[in-house]
Structure 1
Amino acid sequence: MAVYSHMTMSLDGYIADPKDGTGELFGWYGAGDVTVPSADERWSFQVDADSARMLRDVLAGVGALICGRRLFDLTNGWDDSHPIGAPVVVVTHNAPRDAGERPRTTFVGGVAEGIARAKEIAGEKDVSIASADIARQALDLELVDEVVVSLVPVLLGAGIPYFAGLTNAPHRFDDPVVIQGRRATHLRYRVRR
């Protein structure tokens, strides 16, 4: 079991443009002829063979996903059915009024509590962090085992950074496993302790 963060990132370090747009970044999810289905039949990815192997590997082992309230709100909580197929732990100090009506979503008040709860839910499977801010805080708390970056050949110039505001930097990683995909280079880094 590992705790990891996987984000698609521009060459200049952004995971979204200033208006939360990801159109320039997510093109690799449709840049191939290999279908990788998600747990939600409404969503699938059309990627190249190498990206498909990476995606299958990352998606197959997830037992719980952690996000923040902002992403939860942007996606309407995935209607309590995240495409990855795993239960979701939302880190927030302000749970929504309908929190009790979402049996596959747990709301917690802090990052350490969120990771602990996600590990409980995941059992022997992995925990995936789907929030740049939570990934940053978890790195600073030494709770992340691996960082996965799908690096896209675009410069956004501004936006939401993946690794901004680290307080306990520098964080060091092992040499990456590099997977060259179409429209993205996937980098998997084990965190050094």
Structure 2
Amino acid sequence: MSTVRSHMTMSLDGYIAQPDDQIGELFEWYEAGDVTIPTPNEYIPEFSVDAASASFLRELIDDCGAVVVGRRLFDIAEGWGDKHPVDAPVVVVTHHPPEDAAERWPNTTFVDGVAAAIKRAGQIAGDKDITIASANVTQQALALGLVDEVCVSLVPVLFGEGIPYFSVLDTGHLVLDDPRVVQGKRAVHLCYPVRK
């Protein structure tokens, strides 16, 4: 059965981007080592990470059958040129798909609503896992009880302000189980099972 996990790189004070959507030093860990992990994306042809981060990243990539993102991230990344770096199909949560979506992003699916997007991602992923890579979509999926694991690549930088990974939870407290911890260079990778 597929696992639905969220994964974001986050500053120590809880932000996934600066107020202007720039990532600052968050992604330094993707270039902090000598283990090369190739991607199908011409703009991000490879990651160069340390051995521990490589093991963590390979697991995320190899097990991923679909990536779910929000329209905002999709637009910022310009749809990754229709080739996401984890080499999995992308499902975008949006009320209004781009008019040229079928021509410009033929490998991307646009779905209205988080629950519908997770369902569609599950159909695409088959036995593989689903990764949610957007903060707002993660919030909504957590509120709907659709997330099995919350993963954070925690990096040693303080932004002071920005776009949070988590904010007010509509459902109140959400209890997670103890994390699996991978100590990498420029990031500590934490994967928390969601207590159900």
TM band (smaller chain):
over 0.9
Residue identity opposite 2:120 in structure 1 = R
Residue range with higher mean Cα deviation, 177-186 or 34-43 = 34-43
Q: 1:56 aligns with which of 55, 58, 79?
A: 58
User: Which position in structure 1 is the counterpart of 2:12?
Assistant: 11
1:174 equivalent to 2:177? Answer yes
Deviations 1:95-139 (A, max 9, x none): 100122222111111000000000001000011101000001000
Q: Displacement of 1:23 after TM fit?
A: 2.4
Where in structure 2 are the equivalents of 1:20-169 lying within 5 Å?
20-40=21-41, 42-101=44-103, 102-169=105-172
Aligned equivalents of 1:152, 1:53: Cα separation in 2: 17
Paired with 1:113 and 1:164, the residues of 2 have a C-alpha distance of 23
* Residue pair 2:69, 2:90 contacting (<8 A) in 1 also: yes
Q: What SS does structure 2 have at the residue aligned with 1:22?
A: coil
Deviates more, 1:98-107 or 1:50-59: 98-107
Unaligned stretches of 5+ residues in structure 2: none
Distance in 1, Cα, partners of 2:145 & 2:59: 23
Q: Spell out, residue by residue over 1:29-74, the C-alpha distance to the aligned partner (whole angstroms, 9 max, x if none).
A: 1111111112335521111100000000011011111111111111
Name the count of aligned residue pairs. 193
Mean Cα displacement is larger for which, 117-126 or 99-108? 99-108
Identity of matched residues, %? 61
TM-score when normalising by structure 2: 0.95
SS in 1 for 2:168: coil
Unaligned runs of 5+ in 1: none
Distance in 2 between the 1:87 and 1:184 partners?
A: 26
What is the TM-score when the length of structure 1 is the normalising length? 0.97
Stretch moving more, 97-106 or 155-164: 97-106
- Over aligned residues, Cα RMSD in angstroms? 1.0
SS in 2 for 1:39: coil
